């Protein structure tokens, strides 16, 4: 999650309702304070829900902390920022989830990019600003035949970017996709560039290879970081000269192929340590697009649940209504780290739908693997280094507990993550919320591992 803004001007941001389903509400915020509730008593649109008080919470720009801050106004059902109670006031980091009673709002910094109309929101869905920015980048890159490198964690949906780039390019040939990690090490050169009859044992006929199959179209090289380094010069030659030479052949063949590559590795680092050719990285990354993690677009998660639920039912020709998630279940899903991104969310849908869940889904109905990951059993280490037994459940720390641990551990994010059983992104969110990365405070202790 991005650190709290340190600029002199209030940042443009918005709040949008993401759950429960049916609550449609959105508000752009800037320098002026706003009150949120069923009857907010200002120009703010009313937020109508049974768990929202008449005057529920107030947001304002904190000039000293350089961030927006929310405070509860004595509401009946409380105000929380990423599970932390907002009493006297909590900072709102970019991407935070603000909960007013049973309504969940995503706090998102707005981007300057316009959402292009020609990029399909069915193929690249999401209302999060990071998705608007991605769609704008796809629109810029699509018409240029230069290579594109798509970077993103496993399960984020990098192949959808490739599909949309190919669709918008209007190339007449096909989109051919290949997973470089799955190519046979002994035959990878033949699979990519083809071979002539008799080139090796078993080569009983000429084969064109994937590049020639994609002639006039697009070749999507997924997990390109796994391509053997001894073959990388040949890939570089195709990108530079547009020709392929089959294994065992003496002639080259001209091909017109637009290459889109994807990886979950940092190829710049791999190039610096010799694990990937620097010149090939530079050639592949004429356009470099980043597919955001699911936790970077948490406001889109409830809509993704509905989308994947409908897709699961459609593939099985079942007509099932969308399930209603309880507030506790929604909070757990929005707080989950989702290390497998959309694949993990797809796993959740399979677990819920396959057992026939069609009504309200409570926290206890969520799969055990998901509930356990949110209450990790980790040892607590005292200042003296004494390890105490793991707690059965690690609750969200109070502000005093978190600040005490921050001082004790010198702001070491990794150590704080172990202490509270949370990942780094959650520790950063809590630190920003409590103003522990104030202007002038060195970031070095936070980054130490």
**Among 405, 328, 400, 419, CA closest to 370:** 328
Q: Which domain holds residue 241?
A: 129-290
Taking 90 as the threshold, does the pLDDT of residue 417 lie above it?
A: no
Q: What is the pLDDT of residue 149?
A: 97
* pLDDT at residue 11 is higher than 60: yes
Report the interhelical angle of 424-433 vs 413-420 (nearest 10°): 100
* pLDDT tens figures, 367-405: 988 876 543 232 232 333 333 333 334 567 777 888 888
What's the CATH code of the domain at 363?
1.10.8.60
Whether residues 134 and 192 share a domain: the answer is yes
Of 169-173, 182-186, 187-191, least confident by mean pLDDT is 182-186
pLDDT higher for 63 or 429? 63
Phi-psi region of 385 (alpha: psi -120 to 50; beta: other; left: phi over 0): left
Query: Which residues, in sequence order, are bridge partners of residue 207?
Result: 195
Q: 74 — alpha (psi -120 to 50), left (phi > 0) or beta?
A: left
pLDDT band at 84 (very low <50, low <70, confident <90, very high): confident
pLDDT given at position 446: 37
Q: Which residue has the higher pLDDT, 289 or 187?
A: 289
pLDDT in tens, 334-362: 999 898 999 999 999 999 988 776 678 99
Find the mean pLDDT for residues 154-161: 95
Average pLDDT of span 27-53: 92
pLDDT at 433 over 80: no
Report whether pLDDT(443) > 60.
no
- Residue 374: per-residue pLDDT: 44
Rounded to the nearest integer, the mean pLDDT of the chain is 85
Q: Categorize the per-residue pLDDT at 230 as very low, low, confident or very high, splitting at 50, 70 and 90.
A: confident
Strand partners, 36: 57
CATH number for the domain that contains residue 255: 3.40.50.300
Residues 276 and 340 in one domain: no
| Same structural domain, 280 and 308 | no
Q: Is residue 367 situated within a structural domain?
A: yes
In a domain, 121, yes or no: no
Closest CA to 96 of 299, 236, 343: 299
140 and 283 share one domain: yes
Task: List, as own/partner pairs, every contact residues 400-404 make where C-beta atoms lie below 8 angstroms and the sequence separation is at least 24, other chains included.
Answer: 402/430, 402/434, 403/434, 403/436
Q: What is the mean pLDDT of residues 252-261?
A: 93
Q: Quick check: 9 pLDDT over 60?
A: yes
**Strands 97-100 vs 103-109: parallel, antiparallel or unpaired:** antiparallel
Q: 140-155: per-residue pLDDT in tens? A: 999 999 999 999 999 9
Q: Assign residue 50 the CATH number of its domain.
A: 2.60.200.20
Number of structural domains the chain divides into:
4
Separation CA 126–CA 140 (nearest Å) = 19
Mean local confidence (pLDDT), 246-263: 90
pLDDT at 213: 93
SS3 153: coil
| Whole-number Cα distances in Å, 100 to 49, 68, 128, 306, 427 | 10, 16, 20, 22, 22
CA distance 82 to 96: 6
Percentage of the chain surpassing pLDDT 70? 89
| Same domain for 350 and 265 | no
pLDDT higher than threshold 90 for residue 423? no
């Amino acid at each position: 999650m991005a650190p709290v803004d340190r600029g002199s001007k209030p940042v443009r941001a918005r709040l949008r309702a993401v759950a429960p389903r049916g609550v449609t509400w959105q508000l752009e915020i800037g320098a002026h304070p706003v009150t949120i509730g069923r009857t907010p008593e200002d120009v703010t649109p009313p937020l109508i829900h049974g768990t929202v008080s008449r005057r529920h919470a107030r947001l304002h720009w904190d000039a000293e902390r350089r961030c927006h801050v929310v405070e509860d106004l004595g509401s009946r059902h409380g105000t929380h920022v990423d599970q932390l109670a907002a009493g006297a006031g909590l900072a709102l980091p970019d991407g935070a989830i603000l909960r007013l009673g049973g309504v969940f709002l995503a706090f998102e910094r707005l981007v300057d990019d316009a959402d292009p109309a020609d990029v399909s929101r069915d193929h690249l869905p999401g209302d999060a600003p990071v998705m608007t920015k991605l769609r704008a980048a796809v629109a810029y890159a699509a018409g240029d035949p230069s290579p594109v490198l798509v970077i993103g964690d496993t399960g984020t949906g990098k192949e959808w970017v490739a599909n949309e780039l190919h669709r918008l390019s209007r190339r007449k040939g096909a989109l051919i996709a290949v997973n470089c990690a799955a190519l046979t090490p002994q035959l990878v050169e033949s699979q990519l560039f083809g071979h002539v009859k008799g080139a090796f044992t078993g080569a009983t006929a000429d084969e064109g290879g994937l590049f020639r199959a994609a002639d006039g179209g697009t070749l999507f090289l997924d997990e390109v970081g796994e391509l053997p380094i001894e073959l990388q010069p040949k890939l570089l030659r195709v990108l530079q000269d547009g020709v392929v030479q089959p294994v065992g052949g003496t002639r080259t063949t001209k091909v017109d192929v637009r290459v889109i590559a994807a990886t979950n590795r940092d190829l710049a680092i791999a190039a610096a340590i010799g694990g990937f050719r620097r010149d090939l990285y530079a050639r592949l990354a004429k356009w470099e697009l980043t597919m955001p993690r699911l936790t970077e677009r948490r406001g889109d998660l409830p809509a993704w649940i509905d989308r994947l639920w409908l897709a699961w039912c459609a593939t099985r020709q079942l007509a099932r209504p969308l399930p209603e998630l309880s507030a506790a279940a929604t909070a757990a899903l929005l707080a989950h780290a989702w290390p497998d991104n959309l694949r993990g969310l797809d796993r959740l849908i399979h677990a819920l739908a396959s057992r026939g869940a069609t009504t309200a889904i409570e926290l206890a109905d969520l799969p055990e693997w998901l509930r356990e990951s949110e209450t990790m059993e980790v040892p607590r280490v005292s200042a003296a280094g004494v390890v105490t037994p793991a707690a059965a459940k690690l609750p969200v720390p109070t502000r005093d507990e978190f600040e005490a641990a921050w001082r004790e551990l010198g702001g070491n994010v990794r150590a704080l993550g172990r202490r509270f059983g949370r990942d780094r992104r959650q520790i950063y969110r809590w630190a920003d919320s409590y103003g522990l990365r104030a202007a002038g405070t060195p970031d070095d202790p936070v980054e130490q591992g």
